[in-house]
């Protein structure tokens, strides 16, 4: 799904006015991926600064034993324009995830100010209907999963 992530990064950079060098990003990602062990699953975090500087970190994805999810008591705002692009402004998501993981949950789902399902802390919400995947619309105030 690399190309979908790259497309989302490109769109987020454009929306936020960030410089971006897609060739440099792809080259660095390929270089890092060569170091991965084939029998492990990795998480990769790429940070893009406004000036185009990139930082990439990777780690082995931790195993989470639970499949339980819950709803946050905090609501997001459908009018918050910074929920659509991918940003590092994640304090609410991070604190809710930490809090509920201690209680045995895998993830936490958010509702917006109108009570509509938006997204989870580390996952997108979707419903599979036959062979179609349905997701909440971005105007609910969420990061699109595919563009």
Say what the pLDDT of residue 60 is: 95
What is the reported pTM?
0.83
Q: Predicted confidence band at 146 (pLDDT cuts at 50, 70, 90)?
A: low
Q: Which fold has domain 69-140?
A: D-amino Acid Aminotransferase; Chain A, domain 2 (3.20.10)
For the chain, the C-alpha Rg in angstroms (whole number) is 16
The 10s digit of each residue's pLDDT in 67-95 is 999 999 999 999 998 888 888 999 999 99
Residue 142 near residue 119, CB atoms below 8 Å: yes
Q: Predicted confidence band at 1 (pLDDT cuts at 50, 70, 90)?
A: confident
Return all residues near 64 (Cβ < 8 A) that are at least 6 apart.
Answer: 101, 106
Say what the pLDDT of residue 41 is: 93
The 10s digit of each residue's pLDDT in 2-56 is 888 899 899 999 999 999 999 999 999 999 999 999 999 999 999 999 999 999 9
The 10s digit of each residue's pLDDT in 103-116 is 999 999 999 999 99
Say what the pLDDT of residue 64 is: 87
Residue 121, CB half-sphere, CA atoms under 13 Å: how many? 21
DSSP 8-class letter at 106: S
Answer yes or no: is pLDDT of 120 > 70.
yes
Say what the pLDDT of residue 145 is: 67
């Amino acid at each position: 799904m690399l190309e979908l992530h790259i497309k989302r990064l490109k769109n987020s950079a454009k929306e936020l006015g960030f410089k971006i060098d897609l060739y440099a990003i792809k080259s660095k990602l390929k270089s890092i991926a060569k170091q991965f062990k084939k029998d492990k699953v990795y998480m990769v975090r790429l940070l893009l600064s406004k000036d185009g500087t990139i930082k990439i970190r990777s780690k082995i994805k931790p195993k989470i034993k639970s499949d339980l999810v819950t709803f946050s008591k905090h609501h997001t705002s459908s009018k918050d324009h910074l929920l659509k692009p991918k940003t590092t402004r994640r304090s609410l998501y991070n604190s809710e995830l930490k809090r509920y993981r201690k209680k045995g949950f895998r993830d936490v789902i958010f509702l917006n100010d109108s009570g509509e399902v938006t997204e989870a802390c580390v996952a997108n919400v979707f419903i599979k209907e036959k062979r179609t995947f349905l997701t909440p619309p971005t105007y609910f105030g969420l990061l699109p999963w595919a563009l």
